[in-house]
Amino acid sequence: MAPSAFLFIVWVLVRCASGSFPLAQNVTWKSTNFKTLLFWQPEPSSDYSYTVEFSAIGQNKQKSPHCIQSSETFCDLTSYLTDLNACYTADVLSGPPRGGTSDLIEFPHTTSPRFCPYRDTEIGRLDFELIRNEDKTSTTLQVTDPLTAVFKDGRQLSIRDIFSDQLQYKVTYWRNQSTGKKVLQSKNSNITLTDLDRGESYCFIIQALIADRSLDNQLGEMSQTKCSKNEKPSIFQVFSLGVIAAGVLLLLLLVGTVVGITLVCYRHRKKALRRQKGLPLQKI
């Protein structure tokens, strides 16, 4: 038999054998704050299962014990992607169900896209507290950096611990019930805004911004919108009841005086008109 014919027969046999183990599809990474999972489709039948192999680029492949001959369609690789600056790929292999065997030497597999934790993990929603300063003309936003799935020396790291000076904050704010918005970037987690109208209510949204990432992947998830209270002082907050009462009394006296002067002027004018006409004066 010619070598080419033999290779063709082998290829056909492999294709036929692999047909019993459908290839995984839509293999994707999902990572937030370095909590990283690999997903794929479809769910396997009882006739086959999935095994995940992964490796940093240029290194040997390894397997997660929890993702060998599994009936799941995801694999948590968080604890294995320890070099956050490396890039990884993973293969989802289709093979016999748990406890089953196969004569295949190489199982059909689907390779994932490349994933680089430092560059690709999504940054989750930030939380912050609004503090209106005593002068009522400025507001400070105190940001709480979310924790990640990364531990070092027994301590859970925050996004600030990992990104350091590359972590900034994008603040979008606007006067409540207004459409005009302003944007501010800050490297400090205590952000003071001073261009606010005194006593007005303002609304704020904050996002993490990683400066050394590509432009389309710099921003994290938007925070919840938080609005300050409308602190325009009422007349009762500005003046005491005694001052208000005195003001009302003064206003009444002023009105009474104006009415009295107007009435006197009217009487004098009427008398003057009667003299000019030679009419006898009458009591008014």
**What is the sign, positive or negative, of the torsion defined by CA atoms of 216, 217, 220, 221?**
positive
Whether residues 94 and 140 share a domain: the answer is no
Q: pLDDT digit string (tens) for 186-226?
A: 999 999 998 888 878 899 999 999 999 999 999 999 999 99
Same domain, 91 and 139: no
Same structural domain, 67 and 47: yes
Q: Quick check: is 104 in a domain?
A: yes
Q: Report yes or no on 263 lying in a domain.
A: no
Out of 230, 255, 272, pick the residue that ends a domain.
230
Q: Is residue 243 part of a domain?
A: no
Sheet containing 167-175: which strands, arranged edge to edge? 182-186, 167-175, 202-210, 226-227
Residues 91 and 28 in one domain: yes
d(CA 142, CA 22): 52
Pick the closest to residue 212 from 151, 166, 164, 267 (CA basis). 166
Last residue of a domain, one of 76, 96, 120: 120
Question: Phi/psi of residue 158, each to 5°?
Answer: -95, 170
Confidence at residue 232, expressed as pLDDT on a 0 to 100 scale:
55
Q: What is the mean pLDDT of the chain?
A: 85
Q: Are residues 177 and 143 in the same domain?
A: yes
Which CATH number goes with the domain that contains 137?
A: 2.60.40.10
- Give me the pLDDT at residue 221, please: 96
Assess whether 83 and 155 both reside in one domain. Answer: no
CB distance 118 to 217 below 8 Å: no
184 and 104 share one domain: no
- The dihedral region occupied by 33, where left means phi > 0, alpha psi between -120 and 50, and beta the remainder, is left
Task: Answer with the one of 211, 230, 249 that is the final residue of a domain.
Answer: 230
Give the range of the structural domain holding residue 151, as residue numbers without chain letter.
127-230
Asked if residue 271 belongs to a domain, the reply is: no
Contact 149, 169 (CB under 8 A): no
- Looking at the fold, whether 137 and 106 belong to one and the same domain comes out as no
Q: Look at residue 175 and tell me if it is in a domain.
A: yes
Q: Which residue has the tokens 């240029």?
A: 58
Q: Mark out the alpha helices in the chain (DSSP H runs).
A: 3-18, 117-120, 159-163, 235-238, 241-277
Report pLDDT for 1.
Answer: 54
- Structural domain tally of the chain? 2
Do 154 and 104 belong to one domain?
no
Question: Measured in whole angstroms, how far is the alpha carbon of residue 17 from the centre of its chain?
Answer: 48
* Amino acid residing at 178: S
Q: Is the peptide bond before 146 cis (omega within 30 degrees of 0)?
A: no
pTM of the model: 0.72
Answer yes or no: do 153 and 218 share one domain.
Answer: yes
* Shared-domain flag, residues 106 and 131: no
Query: What's the pLDDT score for residue 11?
Result: 39
Structural domain includes residue 5: no
Q: 104 and 142 share a domain?
A: no
CA dihedral 145, 149, 151, 155 (to 10 degrees): 40
* Secondary structure class of 162 (helix, strand, coil): helix
Residue 139 within any structural domain of the chain: yes
List beta partners, residue 234: none
Note whether residue 275 is domain-resident.
Answer: no
Predicted local distance difference test score (pLDDT) of residue 14 = 43
User: Which parts of the chain sit beneath pLDDT 70?
Assistant: 1-19, 135-136, 231-245, 272-284
DSSP-assigned letter for residue 166: G
Res 138: pLDDT: 82
